[in-house]
Amino acid sequence: VWVSTDHDEIENVAKQFGAQVHRRSSEASKDSSTSLDAIIEFLNYHNEVDIIGNIQATSPCLHPTDLQKVAEMIREEGYDSVFSVVRRHQFRWGEIQKGVREMTEPLNLNPAKRPRRQDWDGELYENGSFYFAKRHLIEMGYLQGGKMAYYEMRAEHSVDIDVDIDWPIAEQRVLRFGYFGKEKLKEIKLFVCNIDGCLTNGHIYVSGDQKEIISYDVKDAIGISLLKKSGIEVRLISERACSKQTLSSLKLDCKMEVSVPDKLAVVDEWRKEMGLCWKEVAYLGNEVSDEECLKKVGLSGVPADACAAAQKAVGYICKSNGGRGALREFAEHVFLLMEKVINSCQK
């Protein structure tokens, strides 16, 4: 896997995930540059490459099995180029243009015999997810040509981010239909949350009689309640010497440990006590002290205002800040993925 970029941060992220990096020239990095420009430049440095699979960053629901099948189509079935399509059931009409066409006309249907969606095969549209082609085609300036074939992707995996409105749709699709690695997701049995900066916003108020006062969002308390109702054990942890009396006044009814110098050791003890593997644990953290736990668990998350080290260690970054709904948001993420686990088991 190669990443072609002229951006230092993108290069660093690519290398963190094990990709090789081709530093793109300024000529191939203009706003007007095409994917083909970047691919041709790459091939100029790599004579050993015979087939290019161009994967679009704006299509985040790609699955490895699709790419493997397409590579086989070129290697074993003799195709020169294969590209991704999706089936759409949409009726198209001609555009009205003053002085040219005063009324619209149907383009792919007969209104007198209008079919039902389920009785119509639909049409195939390029979805922009990937383009595979042999070297000689690309050197001629083509991503598609020669003996061509399409690869029909499932509609739920067919995500293409073109305009701003596509972004929230893509986020939901990725959570529900994205690729989550080779290992199957397991049902979450233990949910651990760092108190400071996750359950709370990290602010501490001190009263005149030196009593500590903290605040939390009611949405997060509801999130804890929903987790517990679904059978998930919720526990709280802090490296700070929090007042247990103050925490108990929150009435969250959760087991908690404070003054914890090694959070990973405590969470590991909880895990063993419940007879769980790490894949059955979810952890919401926000600090460097949470980093090892975040890397170890099956599902990891941080609030939007978490430190950089914690953000790099996780699979999910909340839109909400700590103490402002992040716990509830991460709980919803857990529920969504658990629905995926249940559906896969039923299949």
Q: By C-alpha distance, which of 185, 222, 209 is closest to 298?
A: 185
Could you tell me if 202 and 290 are in contact, meaning their C-beta atoms sit under 8 angstroms apart?
no
Angle separating helix axes 218-229 and 326-346, nearest 10 degrees: 20
> Is 114 a residue of the active site?
yes
- The gap from C-alpha 340 to its chain's centroid, in whole angstroms, comes to 14
| Residue 174 burial class via C-beta count within 10 angstroms: exposed 0-12, middle 13-18, buried 19 and up | middle
Residue 93: partners with Cβ closer than 8 Å, 6 or more residues away:
104, 105, 106, 107
d(CA 210, CA 227): 34
Q: By C-alpha distance, which of 232, 250, 87, 57 is closest to 154?
A: 87
* Active-site residue (options: 114, 116, 240, 324): 114
The pair of three-digit structure tokens given for residue 332, joined into one six-digit string = 């919803």
Residue 258: partners with Cβ closer than 8 Å, 6 or more residues away:
195, 237, 238, 240, 241, 242, 244, 247
- The gap from C-alpha 264 to its chain's centroid, in whole angstroms, comes to 25
Strands 51-55 and 123-134: antiparallel
Query: Partners of 23 in the beta sheet?
Result: 5
| Residue 16 burial class via C-beta count within 10 angstroms: exposed 0-12, middle 13-18, buried 19 and up | exposed
**Residue 266 to residues 253, 258, 270: CA-CA distances in angstroms?**
19, 10, 6
What is the SS3 assignment for 16-57? HCCCEEEECCCCCCCCCCCHHHHHHHHHHCCCCCCEEEEECC
Residues classed as catalytic: 114
